[in-house]
Amino acid sequence: MQILLTRKRLTGTRPLYEYRLFVPFETLSAERQARIHYRTDFAKRGGPLARLTEVIAPMDYLRAEPGLTKFDIGRDICTVAKRIEAILIGAVFPEMRAEIVPLLYEHREEIDDAFVVTDINDLAGRYALLARTACQLTATDLGLAAHAHVRAA
């Protein structure tokens, strides 16, 4: 499955960066696409992008009615997704060392904005497996392509 990873510096005096990972909608099944309500074109790539949380979530979760039960289950899915994002982002952008991707990451040195389009294993609907193994996974286990190279944005 294709993924898009980005690093973007925010304006200001402190060197704060946003790190994001998205999955292009065209790599997902039509049923999963129809169930994902939050869509972004954060990278201005020309098509909608999905967050990893909705990609790894089981279809039963995506089909569930909104409510407290779905919210509670969603927190666990989001936590696993953020851990997987940190593994993949850290492999491509080694300066980002957090175990969970923060909203903003402070780095002492100035670094350029960048994006990477690469491939990983298909993670769609794999939450249960990922939740059991998230603490031991590496970028290689997730199938991160060895040719993932940073490009200036």
Q: Judge if pTM exceeds 0.75.
A: yes
Q: Please list the helix, strand and coil fractions of the chain in percent, rounded to the nearest 5, in that order.
A: 35, 20, 45
Output the pLDDT for position 58: 96
- 78 φ, ψ (degrees, to nearest 5): -65, -40
What three-state secondary structure class fits 150? coil
- β-pair type (105-106, 49-51): unpaired
pLDDT, tens digit, 9 for 90 and up, residues 66-99: 899 899 999 999 999 999 999 999 999 999 989 9
Where the chain has pLDDT below 70, the residues are 41-45, 147-153
Domain that holds residue 44: 2-152
Count up the domains in the chain and report the number: 1
User: Tell me, what amino acid is at 94?
Assistant: P
